[in-house]
Structure 1
Amino acid sequence: MSTASFLDNAPLTRFHKKLLLQSAGGPFLDGYLLSIIGIALVGMTPELRLSTSEESLAGAAALIGIFIGGMAFGRVTDRIGRQLMYTVDLIALVVASALCVFVNAPWQLILLRLIIGIAIGADYPIATALLAEWLPAKKRGAMLGSLVVFWFIGATVATFVGFAMSAVFGDASWRFMLGSAIVPGAVILLMRIGTPESPRWLISKGRVAEAQQVVRSVFGDDVDLTGMAREEAPAVKQLGFKALLRGQYLRRTFFCGFFYLAAVTPLFAMYTFGPQILGSFGLGEGNMSNLGYTLISLLFLLGCLPALRWTETMGRRPLLIWSFVAMLAPMIILAVAPSGPAPLVIGAFAFYALASGGPNILEWSYPNEIFPTEIRATAMGVVTAVSRIGAAIGTFLLPLGLDSIGTGPTMMVAAGLTAAGLIVSMVLAPETKNRSLAEASAVTSSRQTPSDGSARTAAPAVLDREP
């Protein structure tokens, strides 16, 4: 059995669970930092005298940084490996978060949020590729998808931390809200030290002996590695960034990037400007806005939990399509009834949050499953970057839209984007349930639909390349 097929069929071990927690640190910090800026803006805006444009840039800067980090460091990770980058990016994030405490001008805040975003954007392809390349096939979709659960845990924790700091110390506590990311960042950094390199990546670079050593250090010396060098030998022609721009890889890049964009653009806008959005619906008095915002954060998290099971039972494709259908209805309600009663508005937000669980978890599994090892991190970085273009634009335009065209038309634009995500998913979404990484990433002429419930033996790596 080759290393790839052994890893695809390996039992779930303590090592896998530990690696999941380490990899989840990036999404946790992303959710934490994105959510807490929405609360910090309340005290930050008057103290730094932020204009509407500067306020929008402060909210969107991290998303722009994620675009840069994903585009630049996904390819770097495929070139030099996952292990080194796994810790370097978190060091940059912790340092930038600490410096946020000393901000005294709008440009400083925007610059630091940009740097934080670059570090987070780099972590997405690094951590998800490393995790995907170690996980067994039957648990891969759910465990990759669970990373978004940690995103929402981070976002939910941030709302409680932010509102608690605001209640105890007042609006002036915004500096410490932003700097509070130092604590989880440092803990995650320490957890990642000593994480082994991906054996799939080592094999793709022809470093077979190192791959054997890594696998045996985790699973023991009695692991059967017969035939590993022959079956997992690197392709004669190595793939690079340009491979994402042609043939089926271009279709896959477009599919992943667009459905990711359609799902996260409204979501990020809601998180960054949640209190302001609820206020625009007339729910900004007293604690109603804070209560509604916290409830919606929790529901985004809860919506992911059943989706983690459905991705392995229902499959990736039907889960994605039906989730987009369910997300579209509340968006239309918010668009046509912007002056509706509070229960209707909060109910629509809540239903959207619950329904978004499917796309939210598939954003993490699809890009890591349908691209081969040589360009897996590159693809995840590009897909993340593409999605953040829309998310950054949406986050920048949302407050301007609320001010200029009103709440109803702004929500209608979000509904249109959700409908576009549904159409693209119906046309392009593949099925990768229970497939080995080699099969899921293979270039084929039809959708990948397994005929049985078992993971198949990995095909030779050299056959999984675009001609």
Structure 2
Amino acid sequence: MNYKAAPYSKFHKMLFLCAVLGQIACGFALGIAGTAVTEGKADLGLSTFWVGLLGAGTLIGLAGSLVVGNLADKIGRSKLVLLDMAFFTVFSIAQFFTSSVAVIMALRILIGLCIAIDYTVGSTIVSEWFDPETAPSYLSKFIIYWTFGYVLSFFVGLVMSNLHTDYHIIFASSAIPGAIAAIARITLGIAESPSWMASVGRVEEANKLVAEKLGPEYKVVAEEKKEEEKVSVTELFSPKYRRNTLVGGMFYACQVFPYFGVGIFLPILIGQLNMGDANTSSIIYDVFCMAGAFAGIWLCARMSRRSFLTSTFFGAAIALVIMIIGQNISIVITVIAFAAFALIMSIAVVMEWPYPPELFDDRVRGTGVGIVVAFSRIGAALGTFLLPILMDSIGGTGTLIVCAAVLVLGGVVCQLFAPETSASYLKKVAEKEAAAN
């Protein structure tokens, strides 16, 4: 019997735990950057340019997902997932010992590279061990844990700011969730993906692993590939894959541009808009982000991929337009629209975990997800880098207009080109075709 049909077991539970602990650490590291940079701005002598660049440093490192995804298709998934949180912790601690802007920037990029492994390879290995029909549900739950880490960083940052904590400590605080994730992975271990092993000709070895983890009645059901068959980045732009590659990259990039740009430098944005107390507005944002994660999981299981993507893109854009109009009318309208934006964007990012792996088959999945995440990090880094610069040059209103335009672009691309990949939809199509024949 196909190992992917095996019931949810202790092995699956431990693998999922190792994956989501990494997601908490990733969310925390990305969120804490805004507070650390804000607190360290004076001591480090940062210009607006460097504020944006340091804030985007981790996201720039995440562009390395292109490299790690391809590496995962060549050497496997488990080694990368096993070690990345250990390196993440070391790089986080190293931030405590330097006051050099260049060194901090380098460390933020290296932390981003570690996060790239979790985003790219972590989601891939879970999708390849779990049942294809239930894997999207588990992958969509990543957002709860990632958002928990992201929101936690805001509250930790708020406490540290009120206590006037040194920025070195704020930067290094991401070592705590990183160390927890690293210890869990080293202790519990990360089993290699059987479908990847089979795709490179190691079928017998893959079946032994499956028997050990799930039972002797299960095995890999996959066509054995020639060992010399290699995966290249250029293959992702061949006629077979290019539509999925470009849609995956565009949807992800257009989604994270406003999400990270607004989220990481939230206090700066709130300060320029008619939104009352900055701390209250930040708490509202965090609460609705957390609520959106749960709502997104519920909706992800009930909506088609295309409908989910287009509705969240256009819904978030409408919320920003109302914010732009509302700031000249009433603080109540502005805050409600702001809460709606936080809710919708948090719902939207749920699709970042199940959708990219669904766009590619087993043999190229690591490289495919890697290149999609790389595109997304360009969008995220641009949003984070440009937001403080845009705020200085065109103000809060102009910045929101740019974010809304990016969201509309993403919605249009998905409306025109996004393939439907949900298991329930594809099953219905197969049933209709079988009935017709």
Matching residue of 2:381: 392
**Corresponding position of 1:234:** 225
Question: Structure 1's 27 and 147: CA in aligned 2 closer, same or farther, altered over 3 A?
Answer: same
Is it true that 1:11 corresponds to 2:19 in the alignment? no
The question of 1:367 aligning with 2:356 is answered yes
- Secondary structure at the counterpart of residue 319 of structure 1: helix
Deviation at residue 183 of structure 1 after TM alignment: 1.3
Shift of 1:431: 2.2
Deviation sequence 1:155-177 (CA, Å, 0-9, x none): 1111111112222x31x432212
Aligned pair 1:43/2:39, yes or no?
Answer: yes
CA distance in 1 between partners of 2:256 and 2:285 (Å): 15
Cα distance in 2 for residues equivalent to 1:368 and 1:50? 39
Q: What does the per-residue CA deviation read over 1:440-459, in whole Å, with 9 as the maximum and x for residues that have no partner?
A: xxxxxxxx7331799xxxxx
Contact 2:275 2:334 in 1 (8 A): no
Give the Cα–Cα distance (whole angstroms) in 2 for the partners of residues 310 and 55 of structure 1.
36
Q: Please name the residue that 1:33 is paired with.
A: 29
User: Who is 1:323 aligned against?
Assistant: 312
Residues 1:205 and 2:182 aligned together: no
Local SS of the residue matching 1:356: helix
1:275 — aligned with what?
267
Q: Is 1:199–1:214's contact at 8 Å kept on the other side of the alignment?
A: yes
Structural RMSD (CA): 2.1
Residue in 2 aligned with 1:58? 54
Q: 1:345: Cα distance to partner?
A: 2.2
Residue 188 (1) aligns with residue 188 (2):
no
In structure 2, distance between residues paired with 1:186 and 1:395: 26
Amino acid at match of 1:18: M
Q: Which moved more, 1:22-31 or 1:387-396?
A: 22-31
Number of equivalences: 429
Q: Residue 259 of structure 1 aligns with which residue? A: 251
Give yes or no for contact 2:274–2:334 (8 Å, CA) kept in 1: no
Q: Per the alignment, do residues 409 and 166 of structure 1 end up closer, same or farther by CA in structure 2, a change over 3 Å counting?
A: closer
Counterparts of 1:35 and 1:417, CA distance in 2: 22
Q: State whether structure 2 residue 155 is matched by structure 1 residue 160.
A: yes
1:131 and 2:126 aligned: yes
| Paired residues of 1:281 and 1:339 also in contact (CA < 8 A) | no
How far residue 50 of structure 1 moved from its aligned partner, in angstroms, is: 1.0
What letter corresponds to residue 110 of structure 1 in structure 2? M
Using a 3 Å threshold, how does the CA distance of structure 1 residues 367 and 322 change in structure 2: closer, same or farther? same
Of 104, 109, 112, which residue of structure 1 is paired with 2:107?
Answer: 112
Tell me the equivalent position of 1:458: none
Q: Distance in 2 between matches of 1:121 and 1:340?
A: 42
The residue type paired with residue 278 of structure 1 is: I
Distance in 2 of aligned mates of 1:115 and 1:338: 39
Give the letter for the 2:409 counterpart.
Answer: A
1:305 equivalent among 282, 294, 305: 294
Secondary structure at 1:24 match in 2:
helix
1:21 aligns with 2:13: no
Instruction: For 1:416-427, list aligned pairs within 5 A.
Output: 416-427=405-416
Are residues 1:95 and 2:117 paired? Answer: no
Q: Is the 8 A contact 2:275 2:335 kept in 1?
A: no
Deviations 1:10-51 (A, max 9, x none): 322232232222112333222211211112223200111111
Q: CA deviation at 1:338?
A: 4.0
307, 310, 334: which one aligns with 1:345: 334
User: Comparing 106-115 with 56-65, which one deviates more in the overlay?
Assistant: 106-115
Indicate if the aligned counterparts of 2:44 and 2:99 stay in contact, CA closer than 8 A: yes
- The amino acid of 1:245's aligned partner reads F
Letter in 1 for 2:223: E
State the SS of the aligned residue for 1:113. Answer: helix
User: 2:237 maps to what in 1?
Assistant: 245
Identity of aligned residues (%): 31
Q: What residue number does 1:177 align with?
A: 170
Q: Is the 8 A contact 1:316 1:433 kept in 2?
A: yes
After TM superposition, give the deviation of residue 429 of structure 1 in Å. Answer: 2.0
Change (3 A) 1:95 1:237: closer
Question: For the residues of structure 2 that align with 1:362 and 1:283, how far apart are their CA atoms?
Answer: 29
8 Å contact from structure 1 (residues 156, 294) kept in 2: no
Checking the alignment, whether the CA contact within 8 Å between 2:65 and 2:371 is kept in structure 1 is yes
Consecutive unaligned residues of structure 1, counting only runs of 5 or more, are: 436-447, 455-467
Q: What is the TM-score normalised by the length of structure 2?
A: 0.93
